[in-house]
Amino acid sequence: MTKITNLNTEVESNWCPGCGNFGVWNALKQAIVGQNLDPDKIALVSGIGCSSQINQWINTYGFQSLHGRLLPAATGIKLCNHELTVIAVGGDGDGYGIGMGHFIHAMRRNLDMTYIVTNNQVYGLTQGQTSPTSMKGHKSKSTPFGAIEIPVNPLELALSSGATYISRGYAGDLPHLTNLISDGIAHKGFSFIDVLQPCVTFNKINTYQYFQQRCYKLEDEKHDAADKHAAYIRAGEAWDSKIPIGLFYEEERPTYESEEGALKAGPLAGQSLEGINIERIMRRFM
238-280 per-position pLDDT tens digit: 888 899 999 999 999 999 999 999 898 899 888 888 888 888 8
Q: How many domains would you assign to the chain?
A: 1
More confident residue, 129 or 229: 229
Confidence at 1, pLDDT banded by 50, 70, 90: low
3-class DSSP state for residue 70? Answer: helix
| % of the chain residues with pLDDT over 70 | 99
> Residue 235's pLDDT is what?
97
On whether residue 5 sits in a domain, the answer given is: no
Which residues contact residue 270 at a Cβ distance below 8 angstroms, ignoring those fewer than 6 apart?
81
> Which CATH number fits the domain that encloses residue 167?
3.40.50.970
On whether residue 6 sits in a domain, the answer given is: no
3-class DSSP state for residue 221? Answer: helix
> Residue 77's pLDDT is what?
97
Q: E-assigned strands of 60-172?
A: 61-64, 85-91, 113-119, 122-123, 129-130, 165-170
On whether residue 4 sits in a domain, the answer given is: no
Q: Containing domain of residue 270, as a range?
A: 21-285
| Size of the chain in residues | 286
0.85 surpassed by pTM? yes
d(CA 159, CA 173): 24
23-65 per-position pLDDT tens digit: 999 999 999 999 999 999 999 999 998 888 898 999 999 999 9
CB 171 within 8 A of CB 118: yes
On whether residue 27 sits in a domain, the answer given is: yes
On whether residue 68 sits in a domain, the answer given is: yes
> Residue 241's pLDDT is what?
86
Q: Cβ atoms within 10 A of the Cβ of 286, count?
A: 5
> Residue 2's pLDDT is what?
60
Q: Does residue 125 have a pLDDT over 70?
A: yes
On whether residue 15 sits in a domain, the answer given is: no
Confidence at 16, pLDDT banded by 50, 70, 90: very high
Q: What single letter denotes the amino acid at residue 101?
A: G
CB 236 within 8 A of CB 55: no
d(CA 131, CA 230): 28
On whether residue 11 sits in a domain, the answer given is: no
On whether residue 202 sits in a domain, the answer given is: yes
195-223 per-position pLDDT tens digit: 999 999 999 999 999 999 999 999 999 99
Q: How many CA atoms lie within 13 A of 203 on its CB side?
A: 30
